[in-house]
Structure 1
Amino acid sequence: HKWLYDHPRILHRDISTSNMMWRRTVDGHLRGVLNDFDLSSFRDDTGTSSVESRCTGTLPYMTYELFIDHENGNPRKHLYRHDLESIFYVVL
């Protein structure tokens, strides 16, 4: 996830158990891979696209802050820390 944020500058915006895969490398290490980028956005987008203006994510893994603000009619810009919170919920 950090590599996606730093290099192609992408926010996934829908991290859940369904959007994570695991693979074992030749030397036996386990690597996590994110898939399903249909709701992702470039981190420097201005927020004008339809995806950017919508509250996205799989409900059990969605960050509380984004969910509550959307319900109150005050949608917030999706940030890196929101993706990290979703990863935390996956680990739980």
Structure 2
Amino acid sequence: MGYRLRGRFISVLNDFDLSSIKRFLSSVEDAPKGFERTGTVPFMSLKLLVPDAIAGKVEHVYCHDAESFIWVLAWVCLRYGNGKLLRKNRPLDEWLTVDAQGCYKEKMAFLGSVLSMHPTPSHQKNFDVARQCLGLVYGSIGPFPYVPMDDEEVFRTWLKNHIPENILQGNLSSGH
């Protein structure tokens, strides 16, 4: 979902029908603290699919949401053509049949083979963007990961810098 507010584009990515939430109660108040496990497993950040995160020991931060968006973009590019779900030969089905740790392993394997993946014809250019963004995800999980902590920097470097200029200006008519 997205809208413009005071010259800025505001968006929210959600999937209420498949999401799960685990709430950890505070002795002070019964309110989310940022350590809840929320999301649809196939689209969750790699850092939220590990045992510590599932146990509520990893704070959910903006870069996890940015990464989630990147996973959704890759998913759409590979499984949908001209707005319709492919009927056969759909990649990534295994992401739907495993638990969080299994999905972590599947996504790591995917990152290792992303250059050989073939998007549907209607999503060629979108998948070029997804590949660039997935490169940043890959870099964030290495032995010496760098993930900017500032939300604006995450948005700019993980997402905005890879979006074609015409899209940033609101011109969606170029086949993207």
TM-score when scaled to structure 2?
A: 0.24
Higher helix share: 2
Larger radius of gyration: 2
**Per chain length, whose mean CA-contact separation is higher, i.e. which structure has more relative contact order (CA < 8 Å, sep 6+)?**
1
TM-score by length of 1: 0.42
- The structure carrying a bigger strand percent of its residues is 1
